[in-house]
Amino acid sequence: MLLVGEMASTKLEQRYAIKFCVKLKDNAAETFRKLTQAYGDHTMSRAQVFRWHKAFMDGREEVEDEARSGRPSTTRNDETVARVRDLVRTDRRLTVRMIADELNINRQAVYEILTQDLGMRKICAKMVPKNLTIEQKEHRMTVCRDLINRIETEPDIFKHVVTGDETWVFEYDPESKRQSAEWHTSSSPRQKKARKSKSRSC
């Protein structure tokens, strides 16, 4: 566990690392992957990494935080709403507390901005039996057409077919439906999540 001073030092190191990755023309996602590999559980949040990456891309040179008042702001204005909206767009799974800490805004103000000004709410992923890719769907359609065509020439073909189903096998705790919750407006398409059952480790 890192002490407060060590945490501040680690964050500063990571900002230098982000700046270095920007110089190497790494995108934000690749930069976050490298930081996670290097710092593990002490890595800055994805939203923070993306924000600093964008700042350095826009020409920022300083890695230190800008001075800000100690007490969180409770102001709800166009600028504050824009800051919350931009941050949520970088990571829709951020909690109200995480947004408030990142932007130094009162938690109640953040919640009101999200729900009232931006019309957002936390929505869990829709559970579906299988989350197939376009290629997998097209392949299944092709197989079905082939079977229909073969039935015309071989009426007894299904007497020789052995059917089965796919099996999910993994030895980790799958993400829960609650953990998949993201901030979305009423017009946003609902994300889908394949339903899985946990396997027993050997």
pLDDT digits (tens, 9 = 90+) for 87-140: 888 888 888 888 888 888 888 889 999 998 889 888 877 766 666 788 888 998
pLDDT at residue 6 in the model:
59
Distance CA 15, CA 26 (A): 14
Structure-token pair, residue 200: 């027993």
Distance CA 92, CA 100 (A): 14
10-residue mean pLDDT series, the chain (202 residues): 55 90 93 90 84 90 68 76 89 85 86 90 74 83 88 82 62 61 77 58 45
Assigned architecture for domain 4-57: Orthogonal Bundle (1.10)
Give the other-Cβ count within 10 Å of 44's Cβ: 20
pLDDT at residue 34 in the model:
93
Structural domain spans, the chain: 4-57
pTM of the shown model: 0.44
Residue 85 burial (C-beta neighbours within 10 Å; 0-12, 13-18, 19+)? middle
